[in-house]
Amino acid sequence: MEKDKLIDGKAISMQIQEEVILESEEFFEKTNIYPKLSVVILGEDPASLFYIRMIEKTCKKVGFQFEKYSLSAQTKENELLNLIEQLNNDNKTHGIIIQTPLPRHISQNNIQKALSADKDVDCFNPINMGKLAIGNPSFLPCTPYAVFEILKREKIKVEGKHVVIVGRSSIVGKPLALILLLKNPDANATVTVCHSRSGNLANFTRKADIIVAAVGQAELIKADMLESYPVVIDVGTNEVDGKLVGDVSFEEVSKIASRITPVPGGVGPVTNMMLMKNTLQAAKNIVQNN
Ligand code: NDP
């Protein structure tokens, strides 16, 4: 595969990391404050714990403060709400992540609403998702933000293009569609969103200039589902025989795609860095408004 076909998520993440460090140092010089991210987790889901370790490492790299609140999976909803209230009011915390999935006895809806919209750095609160839906976003959710940033930094034109997103989850597919529909020269796409009831996926993907796969099914997107050399962005992370693979059958699709992200090393590293960008933005907004 030609080298310039591959989109190097790690390199993009490093670029953003340097920018965040510079901006955060400037912010510190003015305010004497380093942004702080607080993460709340209930229970010990291994994938969630792994993700939180990655966030902690990324915070260290950019010099942000990090605090983890580990609660038992049996924690009552009102106890979690009390902790959220405490973090909402804590001047030292600028960003809050409530790790999902939450235990079944806790209403995700109540938790989402309780989180301060000003500290909601992964766009979990319905107010922030609503603002995105009406085209006036505060924070962009980190994974779709990463896809958007990758397209922008790789100078892949989105305006006027047909983007086919496979997957309609509230954390990836749906908000990504809203981002790409923004009236903004970096967006202004025509978007099709597919899901498990869309029927023959290839009918849609063959008409795409850009395909984004966010499904959670290993190698679902095959070479015969592509036409006209589209750009392919693979959000999926699936473990197969102890190996991380995407939703795209990389080996065959990379022969036809004009550009492609690998898994690992594509969207994942950029996602973590977008969380840092949002946390810095939250800190700046909070300081400015106080
Ligand atoms: P969800 O399970 O919440 O959503 C999956 C979506 O895919 C659903 O909309 C579902 O349709 C659709 N789908 C399932 N099967 C098919 C099919 N055969 N054809 C078409 N659509 C299908 O997953 P997430 O959005 O949370 O995550 C998607 C993937 O992205 C996962 O692999 C996850 O690990 C990864 N991920 C990666 C991140 C990163 O930073 N790299 C961050 C977040 C997620 P329906 O709605 O009808 O059920």
The H-or-E segment that residue 21 falls in is helix 9-31
- Answer yes or no: is the C-beta of 261 below 6 A from any ligand 1 atom: no
Q: What is the pLDDT of residue 8?
A: 98
Q: What is the pLDDT of residue 172?
A: 98
Alpha-carbon radius of gyration of the chain: 19
Task: Please tell me whether the overall predicted TM-score, pTM, comes out greater than 0.95 for this model.
Answer: yes
Ligand 1 atom closest to residue 195's alpha carbon, by position in its atom list: 21
- Answer yes or no: is the C-beta of 13 below 6 A from any ligand 1 atom: no
Select from 7, 55, 124, 196 the residue to mutate for testing ligand 1; criterion: most ligand atoms less than 8 Å from CB: 196
- Answer yes or no: is the C-beta of 235 below 6 A from any ligand 1 atom: yes
Q: What is the pLDDT of residue 247?
A: 98
Torsion angle defined by CA atoms of residues 161, 162, 163 and 164, in that order, rounded to the nearest 10 degrees? -170
pLDDT digits (tens, 9 = 90+) for 176-202: 999 999 999 999 999 999 999 999 999
Ranges of the chain whose pLDDT falls below 50 = none
Q: What is the pLDDT of residue 144?
A: 98
Q: What is the pLDDT of residue 2?
A: 75
d(CA 209, CA 230): 5
d(CA 207, CA 40): 42
Q: 92 - beta bridge partners? A: none
- Answer yes or no: is the C-beta of 194 below 6 A from any ligand 1 atom: yes
Q: What is the pLDDT of residue 188?
A: 98
Q: For residue 42, give every residue at least 6 positions away whose Cβ sits within 8 Å of its Cβ, in sequence order, or none.
A: 71, 72, 73, 75, 80, 99, 102, 103, 106
